Structure 1
Amino acid sequence: MGRVAGRVKAVCTSTAKGTRKEDRGEGVFRPGYGVEGDAHAGPWHRQVSLLAQESVDKMIAKGIKLVPGDFGENLTTEGIDVAHLPVGTRLKVGADVLLEVTQIGKKCHHGCAIYQQVGDCIMPREGIFARVLLGGRVRNGDPILIEEGYRLAIVTASDKGARGEREDTGAQVIRRLVAELGEVVEYKVLPDEREELAAELKRLADERAIDLILTTGGTGLGPRDVTPEATLDVVDQLVPGLPEAMRAAGFAKTPHALLSRAVAGIRGRTLIVNLPGSPRGVEENLSVILPALPHGLAVLTGRAAECGRPAADRQFKAVHSFQGEAE
């Protein structure tokens, strides 16, 4: 889910820090790194810099001749008020690239080449910085979308489903229930194989910037039920309250609920939750934990500044400003 907010006016890079960048017309964005060939690229939080042409126009109105890249920005944008985007905002740029805003403004270095050449530098005041979550190629003129909601994935564990012998009605229920939470951007039906399931969970969390992975199937006592083990193979921390709540609610209806071995845990900034395989079980269990997920995901992904504020479930807040950091 997202809305078109603007477009890319220029893609700029430079081979040295503190200098003007040149409009290259396009650039390759690498996850966790930045723009290939740019001096500011690297494994840190300021991999890509953005500045609105509207901000540059304020300087042009003073009689200064400027072109994209003069303030050291990687992306010169049009139609989007980048200076007022909260930290944590995700921007889809072009067809494939996904950026996450990590910093608003920075410490001004009056001795930098840009300040000396232009007499002022608006980048510290109105520029923003981002890290690359998903890579790809960006070209001048590409649209910029603000992603709304969370990135979700469904993984169904079913031997029959993987062979095309069973309709995946459980996944259909999940899609309906999470519609307001975000967009299901990845969906996979896999056989009940522990290593294969674990590899897919790792891929979604590490390479696809998924916020919430919901699995369905493989949580019972059968010899092929290995989804909890696959999940435990990849998570860094457990979130026991979620499966405990699902089992408690299910036990109020049937003692069979106590036989569920479902687990929930965190890998990086991704929450993984096991659900039953039946459509009824999916609906009953997911409905129990769904009210807690918006706040949990907001905290996990850095979109909630304060756990105790009731509005944190719905409001998009910054958790880090990084302002005042050195270059």
Structure 2
Amino acid sequence: MGKVLAVCASKERGVAKKNIESMYFLENWGGKEDAHAGHWHRQVSLLGAEKIEEFCQKGVNVPYGTFGENLVVEGFDFRKLPVGTWLRCNEVLLEITQIGKECHTHCAIYQAAGDCIMPREGVFAKVLQSGTISVGDEMAIEKTEKRRPWQAAVITLSDKGARGEREDISGRAVADCLESEGYEVVEKLILPDERSLLQKTLVRLADQRQLDLILTTGGTGFGLRDVTPEATLAVATRNVPGIAEAMRAESMKFTKKAMLSRGASVIRNKTLIINMPGSPKACRECMNVFMEVLPHGLGLLRDEVRECGES
């Protein structure tokens, strides 16, 4: 159980939020008076009051809202709550969608104190049920028996695609296949064949959004710009060679060139990452190999399946 100490909002993006004491939170939108609300996954930001107090002990006193948080709540270490956690406050129901965020530019707080806690300690949520939250209200974790859909991202690696010179047929085919199987595709990205950018994106999707599955297409061949496997292996916490081996074995039935594919399959924390070739046809063939067994593997990563013998 936690207690709301501040309800903050700003009328414009880039302007520090201020404690307005009470605000109406609209389903699938966010705070009615906050400029950061919208149809996206970061509708509401939350920060633990204890983390702000620890920061102020460094000698920099900051008012609530300074870090860009909508809700300051006493009694929660939000960083330890996984994506998918439901939080209830009065009629309002929130679902945590992201842990922390990237800090693209150091803000004024960072410049003054050498640190900013929001990228590290803050979390983001979407509004599942509307209502009003005010200072002094209690917040609690709400249990649910409803299983969250598998969440996935699709990344297409293509220099031409990233420049808008080529239509992303492969990425669309992969996303369509996932959605037809009940997966929620939360991000569809087209990136140039740049190792550092792909690594950074994989880390963000696995660590901050805590997705179940990331599928990449392209960049697995012998070309000098084909660096998808290297980027994938660099962020891995565990290897899953069987999936990549099975895809190559199946593709060999259609073309011997399949042995030239260098695609990898790995785990980063609780996220499965699978590299696939760049053509739509090859992607569909590869997905036919592993889609049937994915729910079991993803269930193990979510700790929803206890033993390999369970269905």
Q: What is the TM-score normalised by the length of structure 1?
A: 0.59
Equivalent in 25, 29, 38 of residue 74 of structure 2? 38
For 1:168 and 1:14, how far apart are their aligned partners in 2? Answer: 45
User: Which amino acid letter does the alignment assign opposite residue 131 of structure 2?
Assistant: G
Structure 1 position 36, deviation (Å): 2.8
Query: Following superposition of structure 1 onto structure 2, how do residues 1-327 of structure 1 map, counting pairs within 5 Å?
Result: 13=3, 28-30=45-47, 36-41=72-77, 43-44=79-80, 75-76=89-90, 93=94, 97-98=96-97, 135-136=124-125, 141=131, 148-179=148-179, 180-310=181-311
The CA RMSD over aligned residues, in Å, is: 3.7
Residue by residue over 1:220-258, the C-alpha shift from the partner in whole angstroms, topping out at 9 and shown as x without a partner, is 111110000010111111100000000011112221111
Distance (Å, rounded) in 2 between the aligned partners of 1:215 and 1:46: 24
| Alignment-mate amino acid for residue 89 of structure 2 | L
Deviation at 1:99, TM superposition (A): 8.9
Please give the per-residue CA displacement for 1:201-238, whole angstroms capped at 9, x wherever unaligned: 11111112211000000001111100000101111111
Residue 75 of structure 2 aligns with an amino acid whose one-letter code is A
Q: Is the 8 A contact 2:83 2:98 kept in 1?
A: no
The amino acid across from 1:184 in the alignment is: V
Q: Deviations over 1:235-291 (max 9, x none)?
A: 111100000000011112221111100001111111100010000110111111111
How far apart are the structure 2 equivalents of 1:48 and 1:152? 14
Identity of aligned residues (%): 39
Q: Give, as a single letter, the amino acid of the residue that structure 2 aligns with 1:156.
A: T
What is the distance in 2 between the residues matched to 1:40 and 1:252? 54
Structure 1: distance between partners of 2:147 and 2:233: 30
User: In the alignment, which residue of structure 2 is the partner of 1:83?
Assistant: none
Relative distance call for 1:285 and 1:133 in structure 2 (3 A) is farther
What's the offset of the Cα at 1:159?
0.5
**Shift of residue 25, structure 1, vs aligned partner:** 6.1
Q: How many residues align?
A: 223
Matched to 2:217, the amino acid is T
CA distance in 2, matches of 1:275, 1:46: 28
> What's the secondary structure of 1:214's corresponding residue?
strand
Q: Cα distance 1:30–1:242, how it changes in 2: closer, same or farther (>3 A)?
A: farther
Q: Which amino acid aligns with 2:46?
A: F
SS state at 2:74 partner: coil
SS where residue 176 of structure 1 aligns?
A: helix
CA distance in 2, matches of 1:173, 1:46: 30
- Alignment-derived partner of residue 7 in structure 1: none
Q: TM-score, length-normalised on structure 2?
A: 0.62
Q: Which has the higher contact order (CA 8 A, sep 6+)?
A: 1
Gaps of 5+ in 2: 6-20, 25-43, 52-68, 100-120, 133-141
- How far apart are the structure 1 equivalents of 2:84 and 2:277? 41
Check whether the contact 1:194–1:229 (CA below 8 A) recurs between aligned residues: yes
Distance 1:171 1:234 in 2: 22
Whole-angstrom CA distance in 2 between matches of 1:148 and 1:49: 10
The residue identity in structure 2 corresponding to 1:41 is D
Residues in 2 aligned to 1:38 and 1:141: alpha-carbon distance in whole angstroms: 20
